[in-house]
Every structure is written in C-alpha cells, then in structure tokens.
Amino acid sequence: MGFSQEDESEKPEAAWENPVLVIVRGIKYNESYKMLTGGICMGSYLNPGNFSFRGSLRSKIYVDKSKLIAKTNEVLCTEQKYICVSRPRRFGKSMAANMLAAYYARSENTEELFQNLVISKDVSYKENLNQYDVIKINMQEFLSMAGTMEDMLGMLKNYLISDFAETYPEVRFRDEKNLIQVMKDVFSYTRCPFVILIDEWDCLFREYKQDKEAQKKYLDFLRVWLKDKDYVAMAYMTGILPIKKYGSHSALNMFTEYSMTDPGDFAEYFGFTEQEVLELCEKYEMSFEEAKIWYDGYQLVVHRKEKDECYSMYSPKSVVEAMLRHKFGTYWNQTETYEALKIYIQMDMDGLKDSVIRMLASESVSINIGTFSNDMTTFATKDDVLTLLVHLGYLTYSVIDRTVRIPNKEVAQEYVNAISTMNWYGVMESLEASRKLLEELWAMDEDAVAAGIEKAHEEISILQYNDENSLSCTINLAFYFAREYYTIVREMPAGKGYADICMIPRKEHLDKPAVVIELKWDKSTVGALEQIKEKNYGSALKEYQGKLLLVGINYNRKTKKHECAIEVMEK
C-alpha cells in the first residue's frame, strides 16, 4: 500500500507515458486500451486497469499489504464472499481496492506488479491472478456527479451497462436497461463471475444523514443487485461506517463486517503495524518513540483459536507525511477540520462532556457499543456518540475491557482545537495553564503547584470529585502540557507496588527531571513521600539517570484544599 507522491527519481516506462500504447507479454495493442486476454477491453468501471495501483507501487513509501489478497481469495465463490471493511479516512481503503482490482481483473496480465510482493508466495496466488471480470466503482464520485440518490443509482446503472455493451458487443441482452439482467446475460456467456469492488459505499449516509427513505432505497438496491447472485464471485465494500441497521436486521445482512470495533482477520491490512513504522523510522532516521506518541494508539484485537492477537495500528497518512517531511505534526486531519469532531462532542448527552474531559486526561471510558445504529444521526445515549467517534478515528476501542480513549497526540490536538472554539472555558483554561504549572513543578514550588491543581479542579468541576481516581484525572489534565516532554504512565509497576503517576522524560528531553507522583485522599503529603521511598517507586525509572522529583499530593475534604510536597533525589 503506497502513501506518498510519486518518486521523481523513477521515470515510468515508455509504454506507460502513452497510455494508449501498452505492452503485455511483449505484444503491442493500440486499440483504445484493448488488451488481449480473451479480447477483454478495459472500461471506466468494468476492468478499469491498474494505473492507480501502479502509482502506489512507484511511491516513495510503499508498505506491502498484499497478504490481504490471500484473505479475499479464501472467500471467492463461497457463502462468505460478501465483505465490508470500515475504517477512518486515509487508512488505505481505496488503495486496497485498487490493489484487488489490479490482481483480479482479467483484462490484462499484471504478474509483473505482484511478483515481488508477499502475495506471490501464497498458494492461491497463481490460481486467481487475472481470472475475473472486475467492477470497481466509487460511490462518492457518482453521488457528487448526480446530486440525488435516485440520479446516482440511475447514472451508476447506465454507465455500467455501457461498459458491458462496449466490452461484450456479441452478447444479446434480454433487457439492456436492466443492470441485473445484463450481468446475468454476460455471466451466462462468459461463465466468469464478477469481483465487485465498491469504495465509499457509505457516502449517502454521511451526506444525506437525515434522509431515511433514500438510505433505505439505496440499501435495497445493493441487496437486490448483490445478494444470492451467481454472477458475484466476491462483493467487497469499503467505507467509514459499518452497515446501517434498520429495526432488528440489516438489508445487507449477508456481509461479513470488519470494523474498528471488530476488525477480525483484516486488522493488520489497514493502517501501519508497529513493525512497519519501526522500519520506516530506521530508514528515514526518525524517532520511533516520537512516532509512537504522535500516531499510535489504535488497538485492534484479532480473536484466534489459540490466543487473541493485538495489533497496534498507526495512522498511515500521518506516518508517511512525517517521514517524507522529516517532521512530526498533525497530518491525518488536514483533510477535515475540527468542526466535524466539534459537532459530536458538544451534543447534549448526559455524561458526554464528563467522558471527553476524562479522556483528555488520558483516562479510558467504559461504553456499550451494542446500541449504535451505524449512522450519524441516531443517538440514544452518549455511548452511541462515542461509538461513532471510534469509527471516525477520533477514539480507539478496547474490546478487552470495553472502553474507549483518545488514541494519540495528533488526535488529542483535534479535541483541543474543537474545545477552544466551544464554551468549555474552564477546560480550555486548565489546558492553557498546564504549561505554567509544569514550570512550577520543575522549580519545586510546592504552594504554586497546589494552587495550580486547585484551580484546575475548580475549572473542571463537572467531574465527580470523590476519590483518588477523580483526583488523578484532575492531575493529568492539570499537567496536560507535560506530554510535550514526558511519557506519562499511570499505575506503573514499581518496587513493592504501583506508582500512581510516573512522568518519564523522552530521549529528546533527558535534561528534564523524571517525576513520581503519589496521590492521597484525606491523608498527608508527608505520608505520600514516605510511601514513594519505602516502596521504592523510583525503581520504575531504573533506566533513567538524573534528577528525580518525588511529589506527594493530598486532597483534604474538610478544607477542600489540595496540598503538595516535593523532594528531589539523584539517580
């Protein structure tokens, strides 16, 4: 899967500079893209060619995701031939569809494109290479051209029928205005079933959010076109949203879904794995530690018979841009403003604001994803909103403990951007004050640190403040800016117990002191410091050599005041 601009150091072969003149197996054809593999033509949507995938292969950064083909080969012409993959934008869905089109289409021989990829070693590779008629369509393209759902489907049918008529002029169509009958007639003539690739399948649900009738008609069209049809070898759809539910069932219930909440065996094929990012960082001499902080965080679990496997997935668009620009920053969200996120987090749902604040403080929030209707308007509870944010890429879902959290620094910045334009003034003021609070911690100004935490508590008073967990949330939000310098770990195993909060300087900031914070509720800061020493919490930072700040923070419920004590030791 390629994620970059073309590499200017590699010029295309002469045959590809003139797309009308193509060389296949040493033979020239100059008949408007006509290829000889049984005289099959390339159309706009029927066997559209491999230009897009060839461009991915030529990119400066190309990460081989061709093992996906082995998975799709397994379901060809079976009851499991219906696949729907939903992932956030810019996670490689369209590139995967381009790869599948280049592999399956029988209009030309594409062995040269795959011979150096991992799929070429698979037992199913030769058997299915260039063996199918491929239909590849982008629903967003049709919706943009047509404007309405009815016009979109009418245009889609007409354009596909035109491709069939041009490619198979010898076939007698029983009803040349009926797409399903035309495909039945072609299949009856060729005995070659279709691989149908539908990209941006859910665009209607994203752009016509309130038009339930149009959505139902669209789903009914897809069901009638695809379900129980012998001419379908595989129907493969990609989008951001899972398939819409209506009542107790879906109109497309024949599809197996692979989503952000249940990725199945498809987890590793969309987004970059940790190993892939590590190799890119080594090649481009970039800090893997920083890449992890900026772009990691999407934890996708695959259930295996022996043992569940967890993939730590990175935003591919962002990783590629960071490598090529040699600078970490926010790239994934450049194609959409924070306004999209703002719409959802400011909804009047009980507990939603509290959950967002907790996640900004690096906490995880429990949710029930089962009530989500797979659309962008039907929200019964805050859990439905949070589940949508998982599918949009603004949160990551842990299937193990059924919680959500903000995945990484890049996405966290989107929340800060959105909140800065909302009336969550207390939260924003707390975040802005966190820079000054960190400097006061470094200066070991106990009174100033206590006052800063006190102010953060007052400003985010929406939080239920009744135990050490809520105190910990306040501390994490109050020290939000510390993430610029530290890896912050809560409940870190150390010595004879768990350190409440450890702030570990990253490699680029080893001049900053490490910090161990012990929290107390109605006790004493002196006792907190003694516990750090007695239980040897400093051992959690055994790899770190330098100044270590021991910090005890206590909340006194009677006085409703925070107290702070700080000591320094050298490691």
Ramachandran region, residue 285 (left: φ > 0; alpha: ψ -120 to 50; beta: rest) = left
DSSP string covering 33-81: T---SSSPPP-SSBS--SHHHHHHHTBSSB---THHHHHHHHHTTSTT-
The pTM (predicted TM-score) of the whole model is 0.87
Distance CA 392, CA 386 (A): 10
Q: Is the pLDDT of residue 548 over 50?
A: yes
Collapsing DSSP to helix, strand or coil, 519 comes out as strand
Using one digit for the tens of pLDDT, what is the confidence trace for 351-382? Answer: 899 899 999 989 999 999 999 988 898 899 99
pLDDT at residue 412, as a whole number: 94
State the average pLDDT over residues 35-62. Answer: 81
pLDDT at residue 365, as a whole number: 94
State the average pLDDT over residues 107-111. Answer: 94
Collapsing DSSP to helix, strand or coil, 515 comes out as strand
Tracing tokens 């800016």 back to the chain, one arrives at 481
- Give the pLDDT band of residue 524 (cuts 50, 70, 90): very high
Between 78 and 571, the higher pLDDT residue = 78
Beta bridge partners of 219: none
Beta bridge partners of 514: 548
Residues 6+ apart with CB under 8 A from 308: 301, 302, 400
Between 248 and 153, the higher pLDDT residue = 153
Tracing tokens 């279709």 back to the chain, one arrives at 194
- Give the pLDDT band of residue 495 (cuts 50, 70, 90): low
Distance CA 226, CA 235 (A): 7
Which tokens belong to 485? 């310098």
- Give the pLDDT band of residue 333 (cuts 50, 70, 90): confident
Tracing tokens 């069209």 back to the chain, one arrives at 221
Using one digit for the tens of pLDDT, what is the confidence trace for 62-89? Answer: 999 999 999 999 999 999 999 999 999 9
Q: Write phi, then psi, for 197 (nearest 5 degrees).
A: -110, 120
Collapsing DSSP to helix, strand or coil, 547 comes out as strand
Q: Is the pLDDT of residue 460 over 80?
A: no
Which tokens belong to 474? 């306040």
Q: Is the pLDDT of residue 467 over 80?
A: no
Q: Which stretch of 268-282, 334-348, 357-371, 379-393 has the lowest confidence by average pLDDT?
A: 334-348
Tracing tokens 């001499």 back to the chain, one arrives at 285
Distance CA 431, CA 455 (A): 11
Which tokens belong to 297? 């965080």
pLDDT at residue 1, as a whole number: 52
Alpha helices, DSSP H only, in 108-235? 111-114, 125-128, 139-146, 149-167, 179-190, 203-207, 212-226
- Give the pLDDT band of residue 541 (cuts 50, 70, 90): confident
Using one digit for the tens of pLDDT, what is the confidence trace for 1-12? Answer: 554 443 333 333
State the average pLDDT over residues 264-278. Answer: 93
Q: What's the mean per-residue pLDDT of the chain?
A: 87
Closest CA to 239 of 384, 94, 76: 94
Distance CA 264, CA 74 (A): 14
In the chain, the percentage of residues whose pLDDT exceeds 90 is: 64
Distance CA 28, CA 20 (A): 10
Alpha helices, DSSP H only, in 297-420? 316-325, 339-345, 352-360, 382-392, 409-419
Q: Is the pLDDT of residue 125 over 80?
A: yes
State the CB neighbour count (10 A cutoff) for residue 466: 11
Q: Which stretch of 81-90, 94-103, 240-249, 348-357 has the lowest confidence by average pLDDT?
A: 240-249
Contact predicate 315/91, CB 8 Å: yes
